[in-house]
């Protein structure tokens, strides 16, 4: 078990409510034009010269300003809406967190609007621009690897923000997540303790999976093992990716005796391919997944996996957002919820 670990607020992080919101007046001063000219350049650009439009756009980009699209622009009029962005809605990995977040916020008088951003930062930036412009009472994000433009928008907005499913000592505002490098290392150590020496990694290509891979590789080197055989693919991962991934790993290194997969769905594909090839699990090949989704316990052999407490993550994020939106002091804005390796038959 790797229990939750609260962390004090980092000295470099400034709570959203304590940061000044970038205003239209500040943009006008930076561009050297009037506020009405800024408004026209943003809303009706055909009414200003190209030179003026460019000056205003440069100021907007430099300051991370997003126009308030709420009628009247009154920040004191709260929306009671929180927006949550997740990479994908297909599959159960993020569902537990979203369910807990929604229920906990509803008890505090807030409704949740859900958005799917995929795994491309450009898609996230487009959604963030639309969301920030409508000034929700809070934003819940998946991960910490945001583009410079997206981070600038969020810092300038003054909206309470919680980043989830990742870890940083310098979050945009608040964070509820876990350390993926430590998770990868713990899985490698688990396999080593079980006598596995020829390890492999089958992973999607997103940043969090990449950090788990890095932790796994570093632990293998520390333990004196050969470098793991690695195959990277796209995210989100599928059952078919698991089957083709194991085939590719075996073609490269036929004597691997353990595979760590970046999702339970990948691991299920590995189990299927191993069965088709007559490879005994776990006798010949140990398999570990990530996510502890519903079928992990009932598949045969049952799947050893890594569990993330999505309920705890969602509830904690909800309380942080609600407290900040209500003007309350958040004593512990950075929380590491940890992870657990769930040992079952496959490893």
- Give the residue extent of every domain in the chain: 5-22+75-178+310-339, 23-63, 180-307
Tell me, which fold does domain 5-22+75-178+310-339 have in CATH? Rossmann fold (3.40.50)
Q: What is the pLDDT of residue 74?
A: 44
- The mean-pLDDT minimum among 67-71, 86-90, 91-95 falls in 67-71
Q: Which helix (H) or strand (E) holds 240?
A: helix 239-252
Q: Supply the DSSP string of 33-84, one letter for each residue.
A: S-HHHHHHHHH-GGGS-HHHHHHHHHHHHHHT-----SGGG-TTS---EEEE
CATH fold, domain 180-307, is: Rossmann fold (3.40.50)
pLDDT of residue 91 exceeding 80, the answer is: no
Confidence of residue 11 (pLDDT cuts 50, 70, 90): very low
Do 264 and 303 form a contact (C-beta atoms < 8 A)? yes
Matching fold, domains 5-22+75-178+310-339 and 180-307: yes
pTM of the predicted model as reported, rounded to 2 decimal places: 0.78
How far is Cα 261 from Cα 110, in angstroms, rounded to an integer?
37
* Structure-model confidence comparison of residues 263 and 79, the more confident one: 263
Topology of domain 23-63, CATH: 434 Repressor (Amino-terminal Domain) (1.10.260)
């Amino acid at each position: 078990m790797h229990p939750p670990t609260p962390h004090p607020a980092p000295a470099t992080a400034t709570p959203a409510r304590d940061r000044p919101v970038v205003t239209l007046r500040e943009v006008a001063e930076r561009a050297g034009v009037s506020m009405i000219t800024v408004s026209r350049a943003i809303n009706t650009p055909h009414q200003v010269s190209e030179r003026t439009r460019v000056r205003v756009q440069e100021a907007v980009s430099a300051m991370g300003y997003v126009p308030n699209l709420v009628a009247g622009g009154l920040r004191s009029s709260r929306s009671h809406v929180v927006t949550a962005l997740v990479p994908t809605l297909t599959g159960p990995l993020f569902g537990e967190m979203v369910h807990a977040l929604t229920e906990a916020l509803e008890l505090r008088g807030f409704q949740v609007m859900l958005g799917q951003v995929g795994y491309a930062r450009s898609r996230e930036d487009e959604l963030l621009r639309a969301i920030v412009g409508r000034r929700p009472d809070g934003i819940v994000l998946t991960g910490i690897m945001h583009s410079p433009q997206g981070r600038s928008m969020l810092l300038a907005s003054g909206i309470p923000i919680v980043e989830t499913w990742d870890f940083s000592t310098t979050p945009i505002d608040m964070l509820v997540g876990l350390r993926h490098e430590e998770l990868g290392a713990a899985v490698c150590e688990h396999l080593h303790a079980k006598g596995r020496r020829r390890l492999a990694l089958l992973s999607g290509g997103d940043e969090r999976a990449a950090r788990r891979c890095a932790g796994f590789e570093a632990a293998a080197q520390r333990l004196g093992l050969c470098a793991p055989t690695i195959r990277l693919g796209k995210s989100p991962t599928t059952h078919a990716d698991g089957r083709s991934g194991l085939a590719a790993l075996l073609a490269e290194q036929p004597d691997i005796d353990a595979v760590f997969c970046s999702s339970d769905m990948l691991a299920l594909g590995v189990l299927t391919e191993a069965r088709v090839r007559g490879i005994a699990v776990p006798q010949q090949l140990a398999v570990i997944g990530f996510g502890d989704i519903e079928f992990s316990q009932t598949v045969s052999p049952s799947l050893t996996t890594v569990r993330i407490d999505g309920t705890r993550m969602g509830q904690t994020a909800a309380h942080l957002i609600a407290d900040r939106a209500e003007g309350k002091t958040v004593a512990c804005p950075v929380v590491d919820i940890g992870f657990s390796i769930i040992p079952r038959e496959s490893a």
